[in-house]
Amino acid sequence: MDRGDVLGHRGAGALDAADRAAPPGPAPADPAGEDFDFGDDEQMRARLPRLAAIYRPVE
């Protein structure tokens, strides 16, 4: 079976051409949330205590 038959139109080439002709999308937004050091045990325990307890047990 041809990909064009599956897609129900002229085929994958038409989709590729449409993608190239489309204007670029919006710029990505700034990342949400806090920025902290995941490698710092103290910061991990303060911000994500349950996760820190699993992966970084207190000795």
CA dihedral 26, 31, 33, 37 (to 10 degrees): 180
Predicted confidence at residue 34, as pLDDT, reads 78
The DSSP line for the chain is: --HHHHHTSS-HHHHHHHHHHSPP-PPPPPPPS----TT-HHHHHHH-HHHHHHHS---
* Number of separate domains in the chain: 1
Predicted confidence at residue 1, as pLDDT, reads 44
Asked if residue 39 belongs to a domain, the reply is: yes
| Residue 8 reports pLDDT greater than 60 | no
Asked if residue 20 belongs to a domain, the reply is: yes
3 close to 12: Cβ distance less than 8 angstroms: yes
Asked if residue 37 belongs to a domain, the reply is: yes
| Residue 9 reports pLDDT greater than 80 | no
Asked if residue 7 belongs to a domain, the reply is: no
Asked if residue 4 belongs to a domain, the reply is: no
pTM over 0.75: no
Report residue 6's pLDDT band, with 50, 70 and 90 as the boundaries: low
Task: Report the mean per-residue pLDDT for the chain.
Answer: 75
Asked if residue 18 belongs to a domain, the reply is: yes
Q: Which two tokens stand for residue 33?
A: 């949330």
Containing domain of residue 34, as a range? 12-53
